[in-house]
Amino acid sequence: MKNNCCKKSNFEGSPLQFTILSSLFLFLFASTLFSQVAYAARKGDEREIAKKCILCHEKVSPGIVNDWEKSNHAHGDITCIDCHRADPTDSDAWNHEGSYISTIVSPRDCSKCHPKEVKEFVDSKHSRAATFLRAEAGDRAKDNVLAYEIEGAEAAVVGCEKCHGNVVKVKNGKFEPGTWPNGGIGRVNPDGSRGSCTACHTRHVFSVAEARKPETCGTCHMGPDHPHIEIYLESKHGVIYSSEKEKWNFDIPGNSWDVKHFRAPTCATCHMSGIGKLEPTHDVGKRLSWVLRSPLSIKTNGWQVKREEMKEVCLSCHSDGWVEGYYFQLDNAIALYNEEYYKPVKKALDELYALGILTKKSFDEEIEYTWFEYWHHEGRRARMGAAMMGPDFAQWHGFYELAKHRLKLLNKIKKMKNKKLSHEE
Ligand code: HEC
Ligand code: HEC
Ligand code: HEC
Ligand code: HEC
Ligand code: HEC
Ligand code: HEC
Ligand code: HEC
Ligand code: HEC
């Protein structure tokens, strides 16, 4: 902890003293100092308000005050009201003990003090992660058949929406309970902004150290369809992290966290941190040359530049030949998946749709589940295992399963086609 400037005891100065002092200043120095003095007075009022928040919440919710006291915000004199203040006209504003506040502190609120991080986050896929869920959240709503039609909306609320985010709704100043709480990464907030910074910096510590650890990303980046944390823990990088993380220093401020503080990269190191010549970024797509989560892998826009950035990360610890060889192997594995596993089966399946053997509706025929798991689970595991050095995911959870199900799918498709054609004869 850096200093104790903002412990509760620091909020015990008299408001009256402050007001008299600032009026006096105002009187004496008139115009040039006006804004500074107004600021001091406002800050004085705010300290009074903050003091009230802290003293009461210490009893109502001591965990919150305890966390805040440990945070760098407390050390930097940033209090409850700096974040929770609301305009009375905000849809989620409510009058709480004499101050208008809102419970949600959205990226728009954080941007008052962290414009760079918020802009990068807004530019990233993370901020748009809820757009496919419901029509009201954006234009990709057609992907939600599985969530809302097949599994049921209640499942989506506790599943998809917890990772992706939802649309938080307010009625008569209160959150609709079906939409709150939610901390999904692309949450659509009542003020119209997108995202939830607490997805990686939980309140009220808002720690940079926590965000740098792979477990943080693992809440969402796990499971059969995108096992990034499992792949990472299998990789040599993850093994080194597990064996010696206690000795690493995760608390270093943004631009200076580098190889002298850790011996192997975490998710954040490769995808976000400033390392070597690189600037830190909240746009997690900035260093990706491939889109691997889609059925057919495709190159990202401007992929060469993005790949060069990722190489910069590796080159802090590896040599050129190692990194070139890694990308050569990765590109080959992806081409193998695209050409030998994805395209032939997709083509055969499309014929079934064209012949009317399968209906246009998704997930109403058994084979559609097998096909979904083929690209969405097995195909992603093969590609992501290759991308992040997890050989068991590339192999046994990946290409082996693909090989097995390619055969099954093609046989099944042939049978369905023959049956239909023999009926027509
Ligand atoms: C006199 C006591 C008191 C004061 C002063 C006070 N609060 Fe509260 N606050 C409460 C109580 C009680 C609740 C409701 C807790 C519950 O429902 O469990 C609450 C709830 C909240 C909530 C959560 C509301 C929700 O939607 O879940 C927030 C955010 C909050 N207070 C922030 C503040 C801030 C910021 C201040 C200072 C401007 C403040 N409080 C001042 C007592 C107080
Ligand atoms: C750096 C900004 C920031 C500061 C400072 C801050 N909060 Fe919060 N607070 C948040 C965020 C973010 C949330 C989570 C809401 C969300 O998901 O947007 C939150 C949530 C809350 C909640 C609801 C939590 C729950 O679990 O029900 C309460 C109550 C609350 N804050 C009180 C306080 C009090 C009291 C203080 C001062 C001691 C304080 N906050 C300081 C950002 C802040
Ligand atoms: C009123 C200005 C203000 C607002 C609003 C604010 N912050 Fe901060 N934040 C700061 C300052 C100042 C620091 C640096 C504190 C220090 O290190 O002395 C900081 C530091 C941080 C850090 C680095 C902490 C660390 O461990 O080094 C994170 C993460 C952070 N803020 C996240 C947020 C998030 C998320 C929000 C919105 C929910 C938010 N902040 C809202 C002023 C603000
Ligand atoms: C455990 C958290 C989690 C849950 C639950 C979850 N997802 Fe995801 N989803 C992710 C992550 C992480 C990604 C990004 C994977 C990647 O980039 O490799 C993703 C990616 C996606 C994508 C691809 C988006 C794109 O830009 O191509 C879609 C569509 C999707 N999920 C839909 C859903 C639906 C529908 C549900 C519920 C039936 C759901 N997800 C449940 C975490 C989750
Ligand atoms: C996907 C996880 C993730 C999300 C979401 C996220 N952050 Fe961060 N944040 C990080 C990581 C990781 C770092 C540390 C990067 C590094 O190593 O330099 C960080 C660092 C920061 C810092 C410290 C910068 C410095 O120079 O010390 C601030 C401030 C911050 N984040 C604010 C925010 C705000 C505001 C939001 C919401 C718009 C947000 N973050 C959302 C992961 C995240
Ligand atoms: C609360 C859930 C959640 C957390 C926590 C989270 N992510 Fe994500 N992430 C997602 C979802 C959902 C997507 C897919 C967004 C989409 O395309 O719709 C995603 C996408 C991504 C992508 C692909 C971006 C692109 O442009 O293709 C990367 C890389 C990524 N996340 C890295 C991280 C890292 C690193 C962390 C931790 C520091 C992290 N994420 C934390 C949910 C999360
Ligand atoms: C050694 C660096 C490194 C580490 C550590 C790392 N990644 Fe990656 N990640 C990569 C590379 C390289 C790619 C593929 C690059 C490309 O597209 O060119 C990738 C791809 C991704 C993708 C994109 C998948 C898609 O749909 O295209 C996501 C999401 C992701 N990583 C998340 C994570 C998470 C979460 C962690 C930690 C559990 C993590 N990564 C750890 C280097 C790393
Ligand atoms: C902070 C340093 C660091 C960074 C950054 C880093 N690595 Fe590593 N990497 C290591 C260390 C240490 C090992 C273990 C080497 C050994 O086996 O002795 C390792 C091992 C590996 C391995 C070998 C895995 C195996 O199965 O033996 C590969 C491949 C690899 N890294 C690729 C990359 C790529 C690609 C990047 C960038 C996307 C990267 N690394 C970034 C430190 C790093």
pLDDT in tens, 35-62: 455 556 667 788 899 999 999 999 999 9
Question: Mean pLDDT across the chain, nearest whole number?
Answer: 89
Instruction: Please give the Cα distance from 18 to 24 (Å, whole number).
Output: 10
Give the distance (Å) from ligand 3 centre to CA of residue 208. 10
Mean pLDDT for 334-343 is 98
What are the pLDDT digits (tens) for 141-186? Answer: 555 788 888 898 899 999 999 999 999 999 988 999 999 999 999 9
* pLDDT recorded at residue 135: 60
* pLDDT recorded at residue 54: 97
What are the pLDDT digits (tens) for 103-139? Answer: 999 999 999 999 999 999 999 999 999 987 766 655 5
Residue 399, both tokens: 């290409």
* pLDDT recorded at residue 32: 41
Asked if the model's pLDDT at residue 299 lies above 90, the reply is yes
Asked if the model's pLDDT at residue 231 lies above 90, the reply is yes
Give the distance (Å) from ligand 3 centre to CA of residue 312. 28
Contact call for residues 188 and 137 (beta carbons, < 8 A): yes
Instruction: Please give the Cα distance from 298 to 315 (Å, whole number).
Output: 25
Asked if the model's pLDDT at residue 34 lies above 90, the reply is no
Mean pLDDT for 247-268 is 95
Give percent of the chain with pLDDT exceeding 70. Answer: 88
Give the distance (Å) from ligand 3 centre to CA of residue 213. 18
* pLDDT recorded at residue 292: 97
Asked if the model's pLDDT at residue 30 lies above 50, the reply is no
**Which residue has tokens 């690189």?**
278
Distances (CA, A) of 247 to 71, 236, 242, 264: 22, 17, 11, 12
What are the pLDDT digits (tens) for 279-290? Answer: 999 999 999 999
* pLDDT recorded at residue 145: 81
* pLDDT recorded at residue 307: 98
* pLDDT recorded at residue 41: 64
* pLDDT recorded at residue 64: 98
Best mutation site among 389, 392, 395 for ligand 8 pocket (most ligand atoms within 8 Å of CB): 389
Instruction: Please give the Cα distance from 354 to 409 (Å, whole number).
Output: 17
Mean pLDDT for 291-299 is 96
Q: What lines the ligand 5 site, CB under 6 Å?
A: 107, 110, 114, 117-118, 121, 126, 185, 195, 197, 199-201, 208, 211-212, 253-255, 257, 268, 272-274, 280, 282
